[in-house]
Amino acid sequence: MKQKRGAVLAILMVFLAFFMSGCWDRVEIEDRGYILALGVDKYDPSDLNKYESSEYIDLDRKTQKFSPEQKKPDIKTDQKGIDPQTKRKVKPPLPSSKNEYKFAVTVLFPNLRTIGKDSKPDEQMRFLFVRPTNNVVGVRNYLEREINKRLYYGYLKVVVLGRDLVEEPGYVREVLDALNRESDIPQNTFLLVSETTARDILNTMPLVQPVTGIHLFEISKNASIYGRVIDTPLSQVVNSFIDSNCAVISRVEPGVETLKVAGAAVFKNFRFVGWLDERQLQIYKLLMGKAKHTFIDDLKYKSTYVPFITTEIQSKKKIKSEKGRLKIVYNLRIEGEVIEFVFKSGYKVLDDPMRKYIQNELNKIIKKRADDLIYLLKYRYNADVLGVGDFISKKRSKDWEKLKKNWDDEFKKIDIEVVPDVKLRRSGTIY
């Protein structure tokens, strides 16, 4: 009997040990550094030195509201990054023939103390670090040797790729592979391409939302509302490269007090081949069925512009053969409303012939822009970001077997026609 009690007690002790041990790997929230944005540039020693100059550090202190007691010591190091006074290594070594870096990675995370009760008004809202490295995601491990935070990618909002970096297809592949493999990084993290360097973008403090990562994330999230912005999450970009070796990634433009997400970068075989401006991106979204709303503001009647905003959009495409050649036809059915005109002008927007005029002009505008975009993609970029090849492979597999061997040339020969059909439904309300 005693043996049975002992056995039961032992099992109970083991059972309790599992459930009373707590979270052995728990990290307190104030000890975490939640990375909200990553910037990846091609490493350039001269450019990096610029960001370590005293002028830049002074500017950095002003924009980040450093208090006088928070001033960083201006430490001059030798070629190996060692402070000659303390003999301690305080910076990454400068590049040499033995240690050439590939990337300059910018890491941004918020200062959680600023949201607490004891926060000080002059305390900086965020921390930004730039480090040369050969491993984009692995830069976290190097930074943790210098700061007292456990860095975490689970809340990463945006990754900005620098202009120089996207010229190197091998580097783009490495960055995408690293982001895609890291299990902590959410697949809905937005990718953006900078017109300059990613560092410049993340170093900007927008007035409305000073934490740059959140600012860019919220603009990208609103892409479905504003027709001139497209959301490009990591998973979508990776799938585009897998399906067609091409992709479209949002563009971000730097400013003094704000950042602007507008237009997109076009990639083929992981190499940047050109930009789409805002109007070209509008049409691209219409053709791809990604536009929920869009805004056309260049329709003019006499001396007045007639802005048109869409309320419903349907995009359908079909494939047919004409004279032995394949033809892709996009049928765009668009409904919308005129939101401005001329007060007490006597014009009745919804009555003919005014309605017909507006609809016909909008059809012409959309048709012209679509033809220009298709020409750009076929003959200048030679990038099938519309997914024409993928569509043919699903609908005409036998034809695709013949075309895929030389798709770069065959893509130019495919006839693509866009047929818009605009319907004006409303004209606002005038009392």
pLDDT the model gives residue 70: 44
pLDDT, tens digit, 9 for 90 and up, residues 39-50: 999 988 766 555
Helix or strand holding residue 150 (H, E): strand 150-152
pLDDT the model gives residue 163: 93
Comparing CA positions, the residue from 34, 62, 51, 66 lying closest to residue 214 is: 34
Of 190-199, 217-226, 317-326, the one with minimum mean pLDDT is 217-226
Comparing CA positions, the residue from 112, 114, 108, 106 lying closest to residue 27 is: 112
User: Average model confidence (pLDDT) for the chain?
Assistant: 81
Helix 169-181 and helix 234-244, axial crossing angle in degrees, nearest 10: 130
Specify the higher pLDDT residue, 252 or 73: 252
Q: Tell me the two tokens of residue 231.
A: 């959301």
User: What are the residue ranges spanned by the domains of the chain?
Assistant: 29-62+78-276, 294-427
Q: Is the pLDDT of residue 100 over 80?
A: no
Strands 158-161 and 150-152: unpaired
**Beta-bridge partner residues of 251:** 193
pLDDT the model gives residue 140: 85
Q: Is the pLDDT of residue 98 over 60?
A: no
pLDDT the model gives residue 82: 64
pLDDT, tens digit, 9 for 90 and up, residues 157-192: 999 999 999 999 999 999 999 999 998 999 999 999
Letter for the amino acid at 340? Answer: E
Helix or strand holding residue 353 (H, E): none
Percent of residues, the chain, with pLDDT higher than 90? 40
pLDDT the model gives residue 73: 46
353: cis peptide before it, omega within 30°? yes
pLDDT the model gives residue 344: 63
Taking the C-alpha atoms of residue 224 and residue 401, their distance in angstroms, rounded to an integer, is: 36
- Categorise residue 387: left if φ over 0, alpha if ψ from -120 to 50, beta otherwise: left
As a whole number, mean pLDDT of residues 140-146 equals: 81
Specify the higher pLDDT residue, 62 or 132: 132
Taking the C-alpha atoms of residue 233 and residue 185, their distance in angstroms, rounded to an integer, is: 12
Q: Is the pLDDT of residue 288 over 80?
A: yes
**Beta-bridge partner residues of 368:** none
pLDDT, tens digit, 9 for 90 and up, residues 16-29: 666 665 555 666 76
Taking the C-alpha atoms of residue 182 and residue 152, their distance in angstroms, rounded to an integer, is: 11
CATH of the structural domain 294-427, one choice from 3.30.300.210, 3.90.1210.10, 3.40.50.10890, 3.90.950.10:
3.30.300.210
Comparing CA positions, the residue from 133, 114, 128, 105 lying closest to residue 203 is: 128
Taking the C-alpha atoms of residue 128 and residue 60, their distance in angstroms, rounded to an integer, is: 10
Taking the C-alpha atoms of residue 38 and residue 199, their distance in angstroms, rounded to an integer, is: 9
As a whole number, mean pLDDT of residues 184-201 equals: 91
Taking the C-alpha atoms of residue 260 and residue 275, their distance in angstroms, rounded to an integer, is: 15
